[in-house]
Amino acid sequence: MTGAFDPLTGVLGVPVLAAALLVALPGYRLTATLNVVATFLTLLAAISLFFGRPQPSPYLLVDDLNNVFIVLTTFVGFTTSVFSASYIGHELEIGRLTPRFLRFYHAMYQVLMFAMNLALVANNIGVMWVAIELATLTTVLMVGIYRTHEALEAAWKYFILGSVGIALALFGTILVYMAARPVIGEGLDAMTWSVLVTRADAFDPALLNVAFVFLLLGYGTKVGLAPLHAWLPDAHAEGPTPISAVLSGLLLNVALYALLRFKMLLAVNTAALAPGPLMVTMGLVSLFAAFMLYRRRDIKRMFAYSSIEHMGIITFAFGMGGPLANFAGLLHMTMHSLTKSAIFFAVGHIAQVKGTQRIADMGGLTETNPVLGWGLVLGVVAIAGLPPLGIFMSEFLVVTSTFARAPWLAIVLVFGILIGVAALFLRLNAIAFGEPRGPTAEAKASYVPMFAHLALVFVAGIYMPPALVAWFQNVAKLLG
């Protein structure tokens, strides 16, 4: 226990300490650097999990499923902090942020990291719930950080809808406990994963069903599934871009991860209703967020809707179930968070270069800022699911495995994807090609994070390390 205890304390402790420090420390350069360093240390700790996993304690657990996500989260957290360092610098210059808020921003960033890591490693459904609520509240505060009318409005909307979601999720959690209590007995065990999963077959199916409905809606709100998605586009559009990246790239994943955990329980319990149809339906509904892409004028809001679409695809995949589809879902989660955050990095720089988020005021980006422009093109190509990038593989697996089992669903899915692709490239043409519009100053920023993500996605589209594959396949089995 003690030998393997270190990584987790790193993953959870470093952010807390950093947050405490960042609240105290002044100065933009120092805090930004500290932020990067802290996230980097967290990343190191997380990576060390690959080599030694701690034994599951009643509160903390590391297994095949969350191990990958912890590393992913910390990694994206690290790259985002690098990106945010240059981004926030510019925001300070143009005075959108005051140093006071900046300090607050960095502290919150670390708290958010802590909350998400906690949600991932929690072995207790109550703790997980608390962690996700914490993550929500911090992001609410960060979305509203610009104090503009739109920002406050977005934050408020996010807050209200998020709180309702949290409430529903809590009710679901309680119901799960109620279902577990007769079998496992009162007390902590009845809320502990490692115990729940082993005994879930004996739970009361009806209770589990109700529980799952509430959890689906509660955590689904965080995932941004339609029709619970309303908060997502505005929160992405109005908050600072690093937060948009973290939201799309990580928070949605964390919520979905929670959902998967509970799906496992139902998968074990044969008497309970199959969660598949529910998830498939919500997935398809969300998929048609693709239609919303056509009328978007704000570049960040557009990519937010694309996140909804992709969450729909992922939920659809898990809903279909089966080793292939589940594998595809897990892969899609990973790839999407990498790609989408990369896109938001690009978008952040673009918005700073152009001084606006209105697509109408951008154009010819590949002429004026080749690196940025082509980076965005590559990102959109990736998010549109075109090979040879990672998302294509997952979409390939989803569609082919579905079509053999439920042709009509697959056809609907395909049309949804196609509509999304069409919309994305319609906008991309306006942004990246054609006559240059708007200011064309070169962005003074490091493109390393963006291209690091895209490189990973590219590699994954062609070659996947066997270890990762093994974990995913293992989890895919558990997911039923």
Partner 1 sequence: MRGLTFDVAHLLAGSLVLVSFLELYQDRLYALLNLFALHALVLALSVAWQAYIQDAPHLYVTAAIALVFKAIVIPVSLHRIIVRLGIHREIEKVVGVGPAMLLGMGLVALSMVVMLRVTAEADPLAREDLAFALSVVLLGLLMMVTRRNAVSQVVGFMSLENGLVLAATGAKGMPLVVEISVAFSILIAFIVIGIFLFRIRERFDTVDLHALDRFRGERG
Partner 2 sequence: MVLLALACAAVLIATAALALLLADAARARVLVYGACLAVALVLLLIALLALLGVSRGPLAATLPLGIPWLGAHFRLDALAAFFLAVVSLGAAAASLFALGYGRHEPAPRRVLPFYPAFLAGMTIVVLADDAFTFLVSWEFMSLSSWALVMAHHRVGDNIRAGYVYLIMASFGTLALLLTFGLLAGPDGGYAFADMRGGHPSAALAASILVLALIGAGSKAGLVPLHVWLPLAHPAAPSHVSALMSGVMTKVAVYGFVRIVFDLLGTPAWWWSMLVLALGGVTAVMGVLYALMQHDLKRLLAYHTVENIGIIFIGLGLALAFKTHGMAWAAALALTAALLHVFNHSVFKSLLFFGAGAVLTATGERDMEHLGGLIHRMPQTAFAFLVGCAAISALPPLNGFVSEWLTFQAILLSPELPSWGLKFLVPAVGALLALSAALAAACFVKAFGVSFLGRARTPAAARAQETDRFSLAAMFSFAALCLIAGIVPGVFIDALAPVVQALVGDRMPVQSGVEWLSIVPIAESRSSYNGLLVFVFMVLSGALAAWAIHRLASDRLRRAPPWDCGYPDASPATEYTAASFAQPIRRVFGTVVFHAREHVDMPRPGDSRPARITVELRDLVWDVLYAPIADGVAYAADRLNHLQFLTIRQFLSLVFAALVLLLLVLAIWP
Residues 356-385, one symbol each (x = binds partner 2 by CB under 8 A, - = not), give --------x-xx--x----------x--x-
Residue 358 phi, psi dihedral angles, 5° rounding? -75, 125
Residue 256 phi, psi dihedral angles, 5° rounding? -65, -35
Measured distance CA(263)–CA(375) in Å, rounded = 37
Angle formed at CA 400 by CA 397 and CA 404, multiple of 5 degrees: 135
Q: Which is nearer to partner 1, 157 or 310 (CB)?
A: 157
At CB < 8 A and 24+ separation, what contacts does 184-189 make? 188/58, 188/124, 189/58
Interface with partner 2, residue 30, by CB under 8 A: no
273 binds, among partner 1, partner 2, none (CB under 5 to 8 A by kind): partner 2
The residues with which 192 forms a beta bridge, in sequence order, are: 124
Tokens of 94: 């143009």
Measured distance CA(121)–CA(11) in Å, rounded = 9
3-state secondary structure of 296: coil
Measured distance CA(72)–CA(413) in Å, rounded = 27
User: What minimum distance in Å lies between the beta carbon of 154 and partner 1?
Assistant: 7
Interface with partner 2, residue 387, by CB under 8 A: yes
392 binds, among partner 2, partner 1, none (CB under 5 to 8 A by kind): partner 2
Q: Which is nearer to partner 2, 114 or 471 (CB)?
A: 471
The sign of the CA dihedral 228, 231, 237, 241 is: negative
Measured distance CA(347)–CA(61) in Å, rounded = 36
Residue 298 phi, psi dihedral angles, 5° rounding? -105, 125
399 binds, among partner 2, partner 1, none (CB under 5 to 8 A by kind): partner 2
Residue type, 108: M
Q: Which is nearer to partner 2, 3 or 435 (CB)?
A: 435
**C-alpha closest to that of 352 among 435, 269, 439:** 439
User: What minimum distance in Å lies between the beta carbon of 325 and partner 2?
Assistant: 10
Measured distance CA(312)–CA(288) in Å, rounded = 8
Interface with partner 2, residue 429, by CB under 8 A: yes
Q: Are 223 and 300 in contact (CB under 8 A)?
A: no
Where along the sequence are the contacts to partner 1 (CB under 8 A)? 124, 126-127, 129-130, 133, 137, 149-150, 152-154, 156-157, 159-160, 163-164, 166-167, 170-171, 174-175, 177-179, 181-182, 186-188, 190-191, 204, 206-207, 210, 233-234, 237-238, 296-298, 301
Stretch that binds partner 2, among 40-48, 60-68, 125-133, 388-396 (CB under 8 A): 388-396
188 binds, among partner 1, partner 2, none (CB under 5 to 8 A by kind): partner 1
Measured distance CA(385)–CA(393) in Å, rounded = 8
Among 65, 190, 417, 457, binds partner 2 (CB under 8 A): 417
User: What minimum distance in Å lies between the beta carbon of 418 and partner 2?
Assistant: 6
360 binds, among partner 1, partner 2, none (CB under 5 to 8 A by kind): none
What is the binding site for partner 2 (CB under 8 A)? 156-157, 160-161, 164-165, 168, 209-210, 213-214, 216-217, 221, 227-228, 230-231, 233, 273, 278, 288, 291-292, 294-295, 322, 324, 364, 366-367, 370, 381, 384, 386-388, 392-393, 396-397, 399-405, 410-411, 414, 417-419, 421-422, 425-426, 429, 433-435, 461-464, 466, 469, 473
